[in-house]
Structures are given as C-alpha cells and as structure tokens.
Amino acid sequence: MCVYSEKPLDVLAQIAAQIDHAFEQSPVMPATVGSQPGPHTLRGEETNFYAQAEEQVFTLTLLGQTVHLTATPVAYTWNYGDGTVWGPTVSAGFPLPDDRIGEHTKTSHVYTASGKYSIVVTTHFNGRYSVNDGPTLPIPNQGHTVSAPLGLTVWRAITRNYADDCIVNPAGAGC
C-alpha cells in the first residue's frame, strides 16, 4: 500500500539544479594581494606579487535542507594594470624574504613605464557541497571573485657617475 497520495519530490535533484546559483551567491572572500617592493617599485625591475586565499565553508538552507558548501581556491588570473593579464594559473605567488626582493618569480612583473597602476587578481574557486551531511558532491561550475585593487606607483631611477672633486671645483657636474 502506498503511503503517499502522489510521488514525493526529489529534493536532491532540485538542489543539484540550483547549486551553481547558490554557489555564485555565497559570500566567498577574494584573495588579498601583496607586492614586493610596494607600494613603490622601479621601472625595469622585477616586482613580486602574491595572492593569499583561503578555503571557505558556508552553511545554508536550500529547499528546507541543510547544505554545506566548500569553496577551494584553485587558480588565479593576474591583471598587472598595464594591459598585461596572465592566467588562469595555479601560481598564487608567495612573499619573498627581504634579501631576495627583486628576483624573478612566477608571478613577478616588470613595468616598462612609470606611473600609477592598480593590480587586480581574480581567484577561481572550485566548489563542493553536501546535503544533510550526506556524500560530498562537486559543483559543476567554478566561482570567481575579484580582489580589491592593489595600488602601485612605478618610479624611474637615474644613476650618474661624476669624477669632479667638488672641493677643488665647486661648479663641477654633480656638485
């Protein structure tokens, strides 16, 4: 004997159909962006950039069911503010020790013109979810969050060597 007057709703299928939208609406925090050196650097020199993003977990109610969402950072797209875009790449970069600042890294960039730039990173997140503490399932599409811009001023430096002795010739070049 059937207990239901009609076929029960397949809530899991309905949640699966809505999970991409729920993932997009989750308040996933973007990566924070840093630079070395910064907030000033020199034209023609390596500037190291790095992003710091965390795995994030959210609990929400969808169709009366408890859904746990996990967002894991998996890739980054770097916009260096001068027309150069790199990525998506798995390279988040990393802060260098002080004695290594100026070295080339996977995420470093060399600016060819002085000026003010805004560096922005888009972090790409893979998601997974579980309903009522059931099995964990992947979310089909990635989520993308854009970081707050990191301001950077690129300066030019001019080096000149002088041979005049300023005591002997106070009007000499460089005196």
For 71-87, the pLDDT digits (tens) are: 999 999 999 999 999 99
pLDDT band at 148 (very low <50, low <70, confident <90, very high): very high
Residue 171 pLDDT exceeds 80:
yes
Long-range Cβ contacts of 167-175 (<8 Å, 24+ apart): none
Nearest to 30 by CA among 82, 102, 103, 79: 79
Per-residue pLDDT at 9: 61
pLDDT band at 25 (very low <50, low <70, confident <90, very high): confident
pTM: 0.82
Each residue's pLDDT tens digit, 93-128: 999 999 999 999 999 999 999 999 999 999 999 999
Cis amide leading into 8 (omega within 30): no
Domain locations in the chain as residue ranges: 11-155
CATH number for the domain formed by residue range(s) 11-155: 2.60.40.10
